[in-house]
A and B are shown apart, each in its own frame.
Chain A
């Protein structure tokens, strides 16, 4: 029974990993661009949730939506004001630009919100469900289910809609897409908006159960890179499987071997998998 509890906990955690990683993989799939500020987007999503709850007294639906919207706007602004320009520069400039952006966002957050840890006041999302002896904290359950649904929705958007086709067209061949009447800048701004928005909503969902401070982005940023690499760069379903797998392995190894060994187990498997399959689970070779 305890084992079932561990597995459920691991999967719920993994679902969140999947959601906040899908934005990172999206940017890579669309533009071959690595966004080091992704963890900071998650962090800002958490603060947006806090502001909505504390100032406006909103519930989970309100702060989830607000975080997604605010970060969508930020993603678009970042693309138009920064990324669009550095894309023309050398590779190193591209990499370091988002690294700089990450530091800018993190230290701005320090300045505005202070370094203190905060957590969301108990909102309507609280309590624990008991299903056949397995305890499922409602906040994590809602977050996990929403994360899987949203990751799936993002995947459908990319594969089943005109907008998705246009995004992929720009990713395939920017010039050919332009000849087809698609405006690459607009599509890539949209990709950044979607990526940041999904990070924002992931942050809002995590804020319900996890205390944070402005430096939390570091932790999540690293996890997101591992998830994306394992899943295969550019693959949203890959990120989803990888997120669930990593969450599960972390939980099981923490339970079986002790918490200080969980990352050893995760990263050992990670390295082993990359050795066998360098493109990741679902990536194209």
Chain B
């Protein structure tokens, strides 16, 4: 054996030893495998959600009586599992559905996690949940909105967040309200990124608009990695819709706002379907040119001293930023999962699944503006709902529905025209 091949053999042996080393299982832990895009185009959202899950795990694992009725905050660990602690394993699927599928398999077979959570992009949740279903491991979908994730007859998939059809219905109720106030909403435009998320939400909106007799002047699907969106903006300019709804990821939503200003196109109102509009990069990049843009959010920081405000402080201490809707919805789903893990009283998949189906969280136990958490037979939370918010100066403020509103809605939006 030559020197170099001996070295190669040694390196291989070392690598093999690393791979085959049995996972160390600490006594009294419940392992949660979490799949998010920690690098790639949606990395900012993935990283923010990771921090949110870590804060949530901290409140479960240690005593935080100050957090009121939040599940498991007042106690240490999971009381029904002998005070077992939650142990999180994060993996990075880079926004790639096939990688998400592989990693889900690895988390189950090699890391032996008890439950899975993820996966931000609907397309990744779609593939990863199929793996969980095959192995019979409960999967909590944190915030992916595409309809097709639940409703495939899966037994092991649960979803805490509102979904595409909930959002579409919210927009329609909002339009009805606006029409009653004398605003003109004869036609809308729907601009969507063309993977599962954008397509599913846009389809739902188109269907709902049809039912409510609102014309969809134009539907523009596009790829979120576009480097130039001038053609799309010119198409919008030609059609002159009363409202443009963007279902977009981060860089594309920023690019749209900048291109609209460059091409001097300002519709009466822009509504962002969360996601890109809620990304931590969005406000610093375009706050000065997108004044009055609306967005949806079920997250509201609330008054100082409230539970939501306290949990936001914990998050802020860790990241330097406020929670955004995306990471907050993931955090809420995480709490629902932790609550079920505790009630299961065991790490057996069947018991955890059973506990999840019996979940019934009340509004006061939530950090989000949902009406509760309760899963139907498809695994979808039927009590999830959302607010609408509007960009004013350098922050979003809750403007709709009126009963929850913290600020007055500005219509039309000002954009860059102060």
Contact = CB atoms under 8 A, between A and B. Distances in A.
Interface of A: 2, 5-6, 9, 13, 107, 110, 114-119, 122, 128, 135, 137, 139-140, 209-213, 215-216, 219-220, 223, 250-251, 254-255, 258-260, 262-263
Contacts of A259: 220-223, 226, 229, 231-232
A128 B264 contact: yes
Q: How large is the interface on B (under 10, 10 to 19, 20 to 34, 35 or more residues)?
A: 35 or more
Given A116-B44, A122-B288, A259-B221, A13 B227 contact: yes
Nearest to B255: A211
Question: Closest 9 interchain pairs by CB?
Answer: A115-B43, A254-B231, A137-B262, A259-B222, A117-B281, A255-B231, A211-B254, A9-B230, A119-B285
A9 B43 contact: no
A6 B263 CA distance: 11
Interface string B16-44: 00000000000000000000001111011
A260 B44 contact: no
B250 interface: yes
B43 A213 contact: yes
Given A115-B46, A210-B227, A213-B41, 15 more contacts: A13-B227, A115-B43, A117-B279, A119-B254, A209-B258, A210-B255, A211-B251, A211-B254, A211-B285, A213-B251, A215-B40, A251-B230, A254-B232, A255-B234, A259-B232
A140 B221 CA distance: 24
B47 interface: yes
Contacts of B235: 255
Nearest to B232: A259
A17 to B, nearest CB: 9
Interface of B: 38-41, 43-44, 46-47, 194, 220-223, 225-232, 234-235, 237-238, 250-251, 254-255, 258, 261-264, 279-281, 284-286, 288
Nearest to A252: B231
Contacts of B226: 259
Of A115, A140, A210, A258, chain B has the most CB atoms within 10 Å of the CB of A115
A5 B250 contact: no
A119 B251 CA distance: 10
B283 to A, nearest CB: 11
A215 B231 contact: no
Contact of A2 (B44, B47, B238): B238
Contact of B280 (A6, A116, A212): A116
Contacts of A116: 43-44, 47, 280-281
